[in-house]
Every structure is written in structure tokens, then in C-alpha cells.
Amino acid sequence: MGRGKVQMKRIEDKTSRQVTFSKRKGGLMKKARELAVLCDVEVALMIFSDRGRLYEFSSAESIGKILERYRIHVEEEIAVRQSAEKGKRYDAGFPAQLMDTGPQQMIQRYLEEQNIEEKNMIELTQLEKELDMILRQTRFKKTQLMMEGLKALQEEQQNLRREKTQVEEEMAAMRSDQNANDHHQSHALEQESNPHANDYTPQLQEAMLHLF
Amino acid sequence: MGRGKVQMKRIEDKTSRQVTFSKRKGGLMKKARELAVLCDVEVALMIFSDRGRLYEFSSAESIGKILERYRIHVEEEIAVRQSAEKGKRYDAGFPAQLMDTGPQQMIQRYLEEQNIEEKNMIELTQLEKELDMILRQTRFKKTQLMMEGLKALQEEQQNLRREKTQVEEEMAAMRSDQNANDHHQSHALEQESNPHANDYTPQLQEAMLHLF
DNA sequence: ACCTCTATGTATAAACC
DNA sequence: TGGTTTATACATAGAGG
């Protein structure tokens, strides 16, 4: 476009590169907006100029929302791919993985026959149900896993507390045994590191249960 | 461009909207690529079709890098704004978008007007979108919450370990001080309650990161 | 639904200010 | 550096297969 045909390579002249950048940036933004409006889709565009300045366009109120959506999208894909390719390790030393094979197979099949467009209403409804089921299962497993992790952590913490108390008692006994003898540095350590720590996790757990 | 001038509003005819989408998506991608190459800048473009499919272009090897860069950029801006304003509390590192009042209000409204039966297709689709958005946000928040909880637990646990070690050392010192004097019940307690405990939580965290 | 064709609207390179 | 002009390349709407 313009007087001359353009080579698809970096413009070496700094000035005209800058000029072109400015012009084309505007054009791109405009077209992005048009696509979003005309076709009623979400579009996000971000451009970092070589001097680090950011230019962005987003059809949603905040580009953050689209990024969030993107993040989730990608994460879901990664999750699917990971569980699809032979439950990659992340089980090592883990509470019973509850990983039955059913869902993966379904997802696999689903991903393979990607021609969703060609399904009819009934088939789509069926597919929707299946996917919904898988999603529920996945979410449930995730929650379960996290809960187990939290519980394990809590138990270990209780053990630690118990042991600590024991040691302290032992020490106290020792001290009173020799109390007339000499007096060491008896600076306390009596204070709990966090007095509400015991309450924290149950609260968290409960809150999370109510979240879903 | 084309036979007729185009109105800047949603194309109502579904077929031509779809066709336009396909054409313009290609054009936009091409122009994004051109901008990136010609002007030697980083460009990221993502498009969500109304059926949830994602189309993306990125000049960097991974769009993730650009997202990372974007995140940092935004965080810096927020930091700047925070120190500029009266530290409005964006909840440290949390995307501000999740903090809007929207979801609860929407759910409230939704629950109040329960006569779903009387909604038409368009309204229902809109509702579906909104609910989907809320669901995503909720899931994200839940994960975040759990991660924070785990982190807190881990930190506390480290504190406990540290304190325990301290007490034990103190005790050892005491013991050697009076060693000729008398011998108490010096049964060990030396064994770690769980030798792999230190490794456990990082593993858990990592696993969970991969889960989503 | 997808390709081709083509008339026409747009974007923009280069030139000038 | 930034706006205006102009010639030209490009993108694409609409039609037809």
C-alpha cells in the first residue's frame, strides 16, 4: 500500500521505521476494533514498541479480562495435554491420585474429532453433557487434591508442635533440676509464633468448601 | 473495502458475520505479523470467536512471554499509581478486575429473577456468558486462595522447624554444661518425624500449578 | 461451507510541508 | 517531529459456483 511495494523484512532506516510503526499501529488497532464490533468477538492486541512503550487495544472493558480468559484457556489445554500424555509424574509421593482413565479417553476422543461444527443438536447436547461431567470431575479432583495436601500439612504441623512442646518441657524439667546450680541464657521462646495459626487452616478449608 | 461501505456495527446475518470474521481475522493476523517484522516490535494478538475458539498471533516465540511482559508492565503501572494515589489497596499482585463488585450483584439479580423459562434465546445466551465468566473468576479465586493458604502453612511450618531446632540446640548446650552432674532421660527425639517432610510441600505446590 | 472473482473502499509509502 | 497529500498496493464485501 502506498507508492512502493514493501519488502517483508525489518525496515532498516530508523526514521521510516518509526513512521511506519506509528501508521501501521493505528491501522492495526482500527482493524482490531472493527473485527470486534462487526463480528461480535473478543479481541486483544498489545504492542511493545522497541523503546518499551506499550500500546494496547481490547474489546472487553479491560484487557486483563481477556488475558485472564487466555490464561485459563491455555492452562486448561495444558492440563488436558498433560493428563492425556500418560499422567506425567506430579504424583510422586502423593495421596492416592484418583486418576481413573475414563475422562482422559473422552477428552482424547473429543480433541481428535475436532470438527465440532458438523455435529447436530443432539450430538452437541450429548457432548456438552460429557464435557460438563469431565469438568466437574476435574474440578472435584483438584479440590480433593488440595484438601489432602492441606490436611497433610496440618497434621505435620501438629506433630511439629507436639514435639516442640515436648522438648520444651524436657528442658524446663532439666532447668528446675539444676536451678540452684547456675543460670543460663533462659530467654523465652515461650511466645507462639502465631497465636491464631491453629484456627487458620480449618477456616480456610471451610471457606473453600463453601466456595463450590 | 469491497463492493459496499461497511457499517460499524455488529453484522446481524450470521453467515456473513462468520465469513467476515474468517476473512478479517486472516487480514488482522497478517497485518500484525507485518508490523512485528517491519518495525521490529513485539506484537501479541488474541481473538476469541463467539464459540470460544482461540486464535492467536505472537511475534515472540511464545505468547506467554509477551503476557509476562504485559503483566510486569501493568504491575509497574499499578505500583506507580498506588504510590501516587493513597495506596488504594489492589490486594498486592491480584488483577484488579477480579475485585469489582460485579459477580455478587449479578448472582443476586440472577437468583431474584428466577423465571428463567420466560427468557428468550438471546437473553439466555447473555446470561450463560455472564455465568461462565463468574465461574471462571470463582475458580481462579479459589485456586489463588488455596495457594495462599498453602504458602502460609509452609511458612509457618518453617518457623516451627526453626524454633524447634533452636530449642534443641539450647538443650544440647545445657546438657553438655552439666554432663558430669547427672543423666536424665536422654532418649533421643533426634529423629525427624518425617524425613521427607521438607520435600513434600514444594512438590505439592508444583503439582497443583500443573493441574491448572 | 469454501473458493474464486472483481469492484471498490482502505491503508499506507513516499513526498512534501 | 508531526500533519497533509497522493499514488498505489492491499483487503475485502458481495456475487456466483
Question: Quick one: pLDDT at residue A89?
Answer: 35
Domain co-membership, B135 together with B86: yes
* Residue predicted with more confidence, A42 or B70: A42
Q: Residue B34: which CATH number? A: 3.40.1810.10
Q: Which three cell numbers stand for residue B203?
A: 512438590
In a domain, B190, yes or no: no
In a domain, A159, yes or no: no
Nearest CB to B160 within list A20, A154, A164: A164
pLDDT one-digit tens code per residue, B88-105: 333 333 333 333 334 444
Average pLDDT, integer, range B181-186: 50
Nearest CB to B47 within list A41, A139, A161: A41
DSSP state of B1: -
* Residue predicted with more confidence, B27 or A87: B27
Residue B2 has pLDDT above 60, yes or no: yes
* Predicted TM-score of the model (pTM): 0.46
Tell me, yes or no, if B212 comes closer than 8 A to chain A by beta carbon.
Answer: yes
* Lowest-pLDDT choice from A64-73, A109-118, B78-87: A109-118
Does B48 contact A69 at a Cβ distance shorter than 8 Å? yes
Q: Which three cell numbers stand for residue A5?
A: 511495494
Average pLDDT, integer, range B113-122: 44
In a domain, A126, yes or no: yes
Residue B36 has pLDDT above 60, yes or no: yes
In a domain, A200, yes or no: no
Tell me, yes or no, if B99 comes closer than 8 A to chain A by beta carbon.
Answer: no
In a domain, A145, yes or no: yes
pLDDT one-digit tens code per residue, B150-172: 777 777 778 888 888 888 888 88
Does B150 contact A145 at a Cβ distance shorter than 8 Å? no
Q: Are the C-beta atoms of residues A193 and B159 closer than 8 Å to each other?
A: yes
Among the candidates B97, B125, B152, a domain finishes at B152
Question: Quick one: pLDDT at residue B212?
Answer: 36
Environment class of A190 (CB within 10 Å of its CB; exposed 0-12, middle 13-18, buried 19+): exposed
Residue B136 has pLDDT above 70, yes or no: no
In a domain, B200, yes or no: no
Domain co-membership, A48 together with A100: no
Residue B39 has pLDDT above 70, yes or no: yes
Number of H helices, E strands in chain A: 5, 2
Residue A109 has pLDDT above 80, yes or no: no
Amino acid at residue number B190: E
d(CA A167, CA A162): 9
In a domain, A110, yes or no: yes
Residues A157-174 as b or e (16 or more Cβ within 10 Å = b):
beebbebbeebbebbeeb
Secondary structure (H, E, C), A121-189: HHHHHHHHHHHHHHHHHHHHHHHHHHHHHHHHHHHHHHHHHHHHHHHHHHHHHHHHHCCCCCCCCCCCC
Question: Quick one: pLDDT at residue A199?
Answer: 45
Domain co-membership, B74 together with B136: yes
Domain co-membership, B74 together with B137: yes
Average pLDDT, integer, range B171-195: 58
Question: Quick one: pLDDT at residue A164?
Answer: 83
Tell me, yes or no, if A188 comes closer than 8 A to chain B by beta carbon.
Answer: no
Residue A113 has pLDDT above 60, yes or no: no
**Average pLDDT of chain A, as a whole number:** 64
* Residue predicted with more confidence, B128 or A193: B128
Among the candidates A152, A177, A207, a domain finishes at A152
Domain co-membership, A39 together with A69: no
Domain co-membership, B50 together with B90: no
Among the candidates B126, B152, B178, a domain finishes at B152
3-state secondary structure of A85: coil
Q: Which residues of A touch B137 (CB under 8 A)?
A: 68
Average pLDDT, integer, range B144-155: 69
Residue A92 has pLDDT above 80, yes or no: no
Average pLDDT, integer, range B180-200: 47
Domain co-membership, B109 together with B92: yes
Mutate to test the interface with A, among B134, B167, B192, B209 (most CBs of A within 10 A): B167
Question: Total structural domains in chain B?
Answer: 2
Structural domain containing residue B24: 14-59
Query: What pLDDT band is residue B11 in, cutting at 50, 70 and 90?
Result: confident
Q: Are the C-beta atoms of residues B154 and A184 closer than 8 Å to each other?
A: no
Q: Are the C-beta atoms of residues A92 and B201 closer than 8 Å to each other?
A: no
In a domain, B204, yes or no: no
Query: What pLDDT band is residue A35 in, cutting at 50, 70 and 90?
Result: very high
Question: Quick one: pLDDT at residue B120?
Answer: 46
* Residue predicted with more confidence, B23 or A59: B23
* Residue predicted with more confidence, B144 or B196: B144
Q: Of all residues in chain A, what percent carry a pLDDT higher than 70?
A: 41
Query: What pLDDT band is residue B14 in, cutting at 50, 70 and 90?
Result: confident
d(CA B110, CA A8): 52
Domain co-membership, B21 together with B75: no
* Residue predicted with more confidence, A15 or B96: A15
Between residues 33 and 92 of chain B, which touch chain A (CB distance below 8 Å)? 34-35, 37-51, 54, 56, 63-64, 66-67, 69-71, 73-74
Nearest CB to A10 within list B38, B54, B141: B38
DSSP state of A57: E
The neighbouring-strand residues paired with B195 are none
Question: Quick one: pLDDT at residue A21?
Answer: 92
Query: What pLDDT band is residue A166 in, cutting at 50, 70 and 90?
Result: confident
Domain co-membership, A81 together with A97: yes
d(CA B52, CA A69): 10
d(CA B46, CA A70): 8
